[in-house]
Structure 1
Amino acid sequence: MTALTPLQSRPATVHPVSHGGQVRQCYERLLQGPDDADKQAVAQAFLQQCIAKAAALPQEMPDDPMALSAWVEHHSAGVARQYADYLERRKSGGPREFFSNKAHALYFLQAVAPTKRVDGAWLYGVVRHWHDHRFEGLLCTYLEELGDGHPSQNHVVLYRKLLAEHDLCDAPDIDDDLYLQGAVQLALGYAGDEYLPEVIGYNLGYEQLPLHLLISAYELSELDIDPYYFTLHVTIDNASTGHAHKAVQSLLQLMPMEADREAFWQRVTLGYRLNDLGQGSRAIIGAFDLDREVLDMLERKRPFGQHMHSDYCKFEGKTVNQWLSEPGQLQGFLAAMQNKGWIKRHEDPQSSRFWTLIDGPGAAMFGVFSPYEKQLLHDWIAGDWRDEGAKSAARRGSGAVCEPVTPMDDPDVQSLEQALQGRTPDEQMQALVPWLCARCHSHPAGLLATRRFIELKSALR
């Protein structure tokens, strides 16, 4: 473990944090770029700036590390009470409190995707300390985030599957700030030795069971969106034996015995506060505005459709091409279609001529809108209308995921197998570590590497 040095003594020669999409650039550099000295510099400079911002946030953790267990249990009990109150409100006929419609839920899934695609990344740096028993709790947590190498449990695989089920694989042009938490996790993973106290603190915060996770899972299920990714976190983040418990035990294991414990603890608390940077799940959910999302979506598509329509149909004296010819006219165009009866708000969308043009295999504009874009339009047209006759087909978290056989003809799998041949167990462990990073672990070779890593770790203990 690298000796801890004051934050002020670390040179910050790279400045990746600013407006204009540079957080996303930092995120992608840390996720996709080669593991070299430049990546380490990017990670450390990014963390320095984030820690400086976190220092200005209120401190929620107890002053005494020995009070952590009771504090975590108190938090968990509080969340349980709040969730029980939520369930009582719902059973009494109360409406959903997070997602107003399915488009709202899909918006949320896309907005948090940059973070979920690197789930667990903040702990990548502990992998190299597999031989040190003090890191066992953190390492166990990381390997469980990786599903112990099984795709049916690997958190990133599960989230990618969830996005694919709703054809959300192509990331929309989302706010740069939504990449912040993912970038923090990646940076902590690559600068884990220099920032071990911050990693421990971040882990303490991230692994506490939040109320929003429970409510999200409940309401996603109601909207026919498989909540398994979220319910899985409910079970493994418990304060009794799960990741929240391991987070506390790991801190106690890694706290210095003779060195400056107070300085170490202060850095742990800063790491905890890194969780509060950027937009949290509740803020993302609250930011959804269906009218704005529909207009923004149509504006993004407008340049591609402005010359694609015939001129025989006019709305308030203007052809469709004329309505699409320049920015800022789409709100008026939607109003014109409503005035002409092509869109009937707050009714079954099937009653709207515009909807029948875009939905169904025989529709004139079949394929023009993605499933998410169609959901936006459907829910916007439907408005207050509800299909009372519809049966709920919601899946209550079965989490059934086929366990595919590792494709042995995969070139990365073959390359990994060859790299391991003839090496000692310790040499194999060194060769496996890079495959457990955020970029690789959810792919076939990374999943195989995770399983081999676990097998060798057990054999070498």
Structure 2
Amino acid sequence: MRSTVEEMQAARSAAQAYRHQDGPLQAEQVYAQLFVPTPDEAALAMGRDYLARQMEQAAGLPCDLPDDPAALAAWMESRAIEVGSAYEAYLKERQQGAPRRYFSGRAHAFNFLRRVAPTKLVDGAWLYSAVKRWRDPLFRPLILTYLEELGDGDAAMNHVTLYRSLLAANGCEHGPALSEDHYVQGAIQLGLAHHGEQFEAEVFGFNLGYEQLPLHLLITAYELNELGIDPYYFTLHVTIDNAASGHARKAAEAVVQAAAQAPDPQAFMAGVRRGYLLNELGASTLGVIGSFSLEQEVVRVLAEKAAFGRMMHSDYCRIGGKTVNQWLEEPEGMASFLEEMEKAKWITRGREASESRFWRLIDAAGGQMFGVFDGYEKQVIREWIEQGWSDGRRQPSFRAMARGRDSAAAEAPAVPALAAREVDLDALVAELAPGRHHFVPGLEATRLYSERYRRACVA
């Protein structure tokens, strides 16, 4: 299993090899090359080419944006009402006894958090180029939105830091290799981050689409809380993306103002539509959620461990006529291995996990396999074993468990308070980049930039 950082490093190596080959650009390669403190010229060129290709791909998709910028406010309000009505219907269904719509259990939710991580770990990146345009009032809404995505330099409110903390708190920092589709949105956002000056209208359009409050965000937050998982990263987006005064409203107003000042408003709106449609590419939230299978995931977890565990076991025990080492020599046979462990009573399905000898080996302190599986993997195995069993107790929500204790976000590293002083905003821009802003120097630079820029806005 690889950590997020290790995944990026591996992808970066692959991207280096790509530079000497012919072939289409891959999202994972682009992502790895751009999600660094300072991308080099070759990486920037790769990102620009990738953006152009994605825009071509999105060009044929249906677009619900009105042609007239003046109609954007009504369009946004109509969407917000539609989402609100759908969420109200969802809540009524749940109150009447309907099961969770998205997540079958904690393992399913953890799987989702890991698979959307490439996008969440570059949250707000598409707006980075705007901070260079601080002298132009047309970019003010974009800059203020980006600063809020960065928590204005407060580590406990920086969206990337929040998501990293959420992964760590649930044993989800390490993840499986992801498919190409999981990197598409992150690669697009990083491409816009570093080429926003060339694709100005597209940045406005992408921002308009991304900041509209979707139904899936509301349901995700509700069900994570229900499963005892901190929903704050998601509830924060519910509040700041609101259509009344939040990012959704600012995004629409920014397009209206910029279109009015554009030399060719029609051409500008065409670029807005191109950027807006980029939101439709890559793995969708509902697609990621719907792709989960507990049965397949437990087999995948064991198959991945088999590569490291073979030859590590004694030949004392035989299961289904084979030693454990012999089973592990064939990772593709893990489904059969699980069946044989059931037959041999090493695993008792449909009962509390602690009744299974295999579970005690991996979970109990002092167990012979204690520490082999991380928190996410153990959750997958536990839910697979206990599938169909219930002790009748209700899972307390995250908010219920959190009452009386500090929020997990408060554990993020603090940045010392800074005295107000005149600051050269241009000198701070590099530290606000997607690959840097969530580290301590970036947080400090963000606080300085935000402090000075917000003062200038009201001056």
Same fold at TM > 0.5 = yes
Any residues of structure 2 matched to 1:98-177 within 5 Å, and which?
98-177=102-181
2:31 to 27, 31, 41: 27
Q: How big is the shift at 1:331? A: 1.1
Q: Quick check: 1:16–1:45 contact (8 Å CA) kept in 2?
A: no
List gaps (5 residues or longer) in structure 2: 1-18
List gaps (5 residues or longer) in structure 1: 1-13
Deviation readout 1:208-230 (Å, 9 max, x if unpaired)? 00000000001111111100000
Tell me which residue corresponds to 1:282.
Answer: 286
Kindly provide the amino acid, as one letter, of the partner of residue 298 in structure 2: V
Matching of residue 79 in structure 1 with residue 88 in structure 2: no
Structure 2: how far apart are the matches of 1:194 and 1:183?
16
1:342 to 308, 323, 346: 346
Deviation readout 1:158-208 (Å, 9 max, x if unpaired)? 101101101222342111221110110111011101101111110011000
Matching of residue 263 in structure 1 with residue 267 in structure 2: yes
Structure 1: how far apart are the matches of 2:67 and 2:233?
34
Deviation readout 1:117-163 (Å, 9 max, x if unpaired)? 01000000000111111111111111000111111111111101101
Tell me which residue corresponds to 1:431.
Answer: 427
User: Identity of aligned pairs, percent?
Assistant: 47
Tell me which residue corresponds to 1:8.
Answer: none
Number of residues of Structure 1 aligned to a counterpart in Structure 2: 434
Structure 1: how far apart are the matches of 2:379 and 2:262?
59
1:223 to 221, 227, 237: 227
Structure 2: how far apart are the matches of 1:207 and 1:17?
36
Tell me which residue corresponds to 1:196.
Answer: 200
Structure 2: how far apart are the matches of 1:37 and 1:377?
45
1:209 to 209, 213, 229: 213
Q: Quick check: 2:120–2:160 contact (8 Å CA) kept in 1?
A: yes
SS of 2:126 mapped into structure 1: helix
Distance change in 2, residues 1:364/1:35 (3 Å): closer
Structure 2: how far apart are the matches of 1:312 and 1:40?
56
SS of 1:99 mapped into structure 2: coil
Q: How big is the shift at 1:16? A: 11
Please provide the CA RMSD for this pair: 2.4
Structure 2: how far apart are the matches of 1:55 and 1:392?
46
Q: How big is the shift at 1:387? A: 3.0
Q: Quick check: 1:15–1:46 contact (8 Å CA) kept in 2?
A: no
Kindly provide the amino acid, as one letter, of the partner of residue 300 in structure 1: E
SS of 1:110 mapped into structure 2: helix
Q: How big is the shift at 1:112? A: 0.5
Structure 2: how far apart are the matches of 1:444 and 1:188?
24
Tell me which residue corresponds to 1:253.
Answer: 257
Kindly provide the amino acid, as one letter, of the partner of residue 69 in structure 1: A
Distance change in 2, residues 1:16/1:22 (3 Å): farther
1:378 to 368, 373, 382: 382
Matching of residue 327 in structure 1 with residue 323 in structure 2: no
Distance change in 2, residues 1:179/1:15 (3 Å): farther
Any residues of structure 2 matched to 1:402-441 within 5 Å, and which?
402=410, 404-406=413-415, 425=422, 428-441=424-437
Tell me which residue corresponds to 2:246.
Answer: 242
Runs of 4+ in 1 over 4 A off after TM superposition: 14-19, 396-400
Distance change in 2, residues 1:374/1:134 (3 Å): same
Structure 1: how far apart are the matches of 2:377 and 2:39?
37
1:365 to 345, 363, 369: 369
Q: How big is the shift at 1:77? A: 0.6
Tell me which residue corresponds to 2:409.
Answer: 401
SS of 2:438 mapped into structure 1: coil
Q: How big is the shift at 1:391? A: 4.8
Kindly provide the amino acid, as one letter, of the partner of residue 89 in structure 1: E
Deviation readout 1:80-133 (Å, 9 max, x if unpaired)? 111111111111111111000111000000001011001000000000111111
